Amino acid sequence: MKKFSEENEKRVQNLQSRYPNKEASLLTVLHMANDEFGHLDDEAYSYISELTGVPKSRVYSVATFYSMYDQKPVGRYHLQLCKNISCMLAGADDILKHICGKLNISPGETTPDNKFTLTLVECLGSCGSAPAMIINKEYYENLDNAKIDNILSELN
């Protein structure tokens, strides 16, 4: 069974002591689990449920509602391209085609070497600097194909 490191277990206990009910810590605990385990699966949902006292069905429904939690393993670099209207109007469709062509994958896929995973997400909150993308936890904004080429070459 999956289990947090001792340090993260202490962080969860400390976190939960600050809230009137354990469910209030659920989003943070899910982030911790996603970071430590690499993705969330049935075993992780069971562990988080046990740890927080939140029913497993609730843990699952929260985790799958948000696109920020990985439901399957992702590559070393997780490219999350915004597909919302502002980004699409600013050229995200062209950027998507460019990334797919460069990496030879489609959205939702990972390169055979497990280096890159491409995911489309609903909104990154960067409408003023669209199109936008997150790679792992770093934002990239005002994208164009030349910037994508530079970003990908730096990651290789």
Average pLDDT over residues 64-71: 89
In this model, does residue 132 exceed pLDDT 90?
yes
* Structural contact between residues 54 and 45, judged by C-beta atoms closer than 8 angstroms: no
**Annotated binding site, which residues?**
82, 87, 123, 127
Report the distance separating Cα 44 and Cα 96, nearest Å: 31
What is the tens place of the pLDDT at every residue in 33-50? 999 999 999 999 999 999
85: CATH? 3.40.30.10
21: CATH? 1.10.10
- At 26, list the tokens: 């659920």
Residue 50 and residue 90 in one domain: no
Structural domains in the chain (count): 2
- Looking at residue 96, its pLDDT comes to 98
Residues 6+ apart with CB under 8 A from 111: 75, 103, 104, 105, 117
In this model, does residue 156 exceed pLDDT 80?
no
Residue 96: domain span = 77-155
**Annotated binding site for [2Fe-2S] cluster, which residues?**
82, 87, 123, 127
Whole-prediction pTM: 0.82
Residue 148 and residue 85 in one domain: yes
DSSP assignment, residue 18? T
